Amino acid sequence: MMKRPNIVPRVVILVLTLTVALVSLSCESGGGMGVGVGAPTRWGGGTGAPPVFVGGPSY
Amino acid sequence: MMSKGLKATSFGAACALALAFGLAGATAPVTAADPIEPGRFVWRDLMTKDVSVAERFYGELFGWRFEKTKRGDRPYVIARSGNVPVGGIVDVSNLPDAGPQWLCFMAVADVDKTVALAQSDGGKVLVQPRDLPLARAAVVTDPQGAPLGLAQMRGTIPLPAQPTQGHFFWQEYLAKDAAKALDFYKRLAGYQPVVSDTRLGVEYHVLMKARGGAGLFQLPATTVGIEPNWLPYVLVDAPDQMAARVTALGGRILVPAAPERRNGSLVVIADPGGAPLALQKYPY
């Protein structure tokens, strides 16, 4: 019977596998939304007067 | 023939993978006690057909740094100012109808009910409600056609006491019909609008919740080429000086600084892809 040389301890393989899986998890679960939307832009570049920006932020 | 050791290792690895990906696939339930107030804008994603150009532009302009992540099998870039995530970048080059724009996400109590409300008022669903790591989210157009992200958040996002340079801090709805828009958004998010300015014949409405976070005004009838939209604002120190850098970096000035526009404290730009964005000094 062929015997596999036990060069790398099983626990190391297990830890590495778990690390890779968790890295994948962290990439997926980061912040943000990331939803692509196929909607045209709303600023088409007109030649009329720009909006009258009165008022403004009130933080 | 496999040794017992290999079998045991493979079994352990399989269990670890199953556990990890099981966790990845699972999404935490959205609790009824959502600490984020509905109506608050919680996130902005840039839709662009050239992610690397966008990274270069916003990196040079605001000093943002970028982290490549994924949503499913699609790439997704998180922009950070310092260590704080400030927005995302989505590659929409595979969507033929996609125009360059920043998509603003508003917190809602129940995304499915809010989507239904938007539809019943004449809005359209661009992205059906779906579970994302941060929220259950959807994208709609409102009755005047403006795209809007809706997010039923999980967890909390701290609201800073004061806005921070280089961060989004405001959004503004440019309406074709302000009265109808106010009615819609009052019902959608429970806003209590307050008129803060009436100069030049334009009423500026601050959409109040616990604190203001958005404004709304009507586009003049003479405006051509601008359809109703949510315009996101980034806080900057010197918008007129930054405008010169915008053009040098490949962007365009859509609305230049002018004394009659908030004492020259506002510049509206388009990034190299064409996505509009407001640069605002505050206070002004």
Hey, is the C-beta of B95 within 8 angstroms of any chain A C-beta? yes
Give me the tens of pLDDT residue by residue for chain B, a chain 284 residues long: 334 443 444 434 333 333 333 333 334 444 444 468 899 999 999 999 999 999 999 999 999 999 999 998 899 999 999 999 999 999 999 999 999 999 999 999 999 999 999 999 999 999 999 999 989 999 999 999 999 999 999 987 777 888 999 999 999 999 999 999 999 999 999 999 999 999 988 999 999 877 668 999 999 888 889 999 999 999 999 999 999 999 999 999 999 999 989 999 999 999 999 999 999 999 98
Whether residue B260 sits in one domain with residue B182: yes
The residue with greater pLDDT, B54 or A51, is B54
8 A C-beta contact, residue B274 and residue B99: yes
Alpha carbon distances (Å) from B146 to B63, B179, B221, B241 = 29, 15, 17, 30
Q: Which residue has better confidence, B216 or A4?
A: B216
Whether residue B7 lies within 8 A of chain A, CB to CB, comes out as no
Rg (CA), chain B: 21
pLDDT of B103: 98
Residue at B122 is within a domain:
yes
- Asked if residue B197 and residue B132 are part of one domain, the reply reads no
**Location of structure tokens 């040098």:** B248
Residue with the larger pLDDT of the pair B7 and A42: A42
Domain that holds residue B127: 41-153
Asked if residue B22 is part of any domain, the answer here is no
B129 and B222 both lie in a single domain: no
pLDDT of residue B212: 67
Residue B106 belongs to a domain: yes
pLDDT at A48: 65
- B262 interfaces chain A, CB cutoff of 8 Å: yes
| A chain contacts of residue B98, beta-carbon cutoff 8 Å | 36-40
B146, A54 Cβ separation under 8 angstroms: no
Give the nearest chain A residue to B159 (CA atoms). A59
Q: Which of B153, B182, B204 is the last residue of a domain?
A: B153
Comparing CB atoms, the residue among B85, B268, B282 nearest residue A57 is: B282
Global pTM value: 0.82
Pairwise pLDDT comparison (A36 vs A8), residue with the higher score: A36
Boundary (domain end) residue, out of B123, B153, B183? B153
Contact between B174 and B215 (Cβ < 8 Å)? no
Residues B145 and B205 in one domain: no
Report how far apart, in Å, the C-alpha atoms of B191 and of each of A10, B88, B208, B230, B231 are: 58, 26, 6, 16, 18
Domain count, chain B: 2
* Domain end position, chosen among B126, B153, B180: B153
Q: What is the ipTM of this complex?
A: 0.78
Q: Which residue has the higher pLDDT, A59 or B112?
A: B112
> How many other C-beta atoms are found inside a 10 Å radius of the C-beta of residue B13?
18
Asked if residue B9 is part of any domain, the answer here is no
Record the tokens describing residue A41, joined without a space. 């832009």
Which among A27, A40, A54 is the nearest to B199, CB-wise?
A54
Q: Give per-residue burial for B249-264: e unless 16+ CB within 10 Å, then b.
A: bebebbbebeeebbee
Distance, in Å, from the CA atom of B170 to the CA atom of B233, rounded to the nearest integer, reads 5
**Tokens at residue B150, please?**
């809706």
Residue tagged 């033929």 (tokens): B96
Question: CATH number of the domain that B60 lies in?
Answer: 3.10.180.10
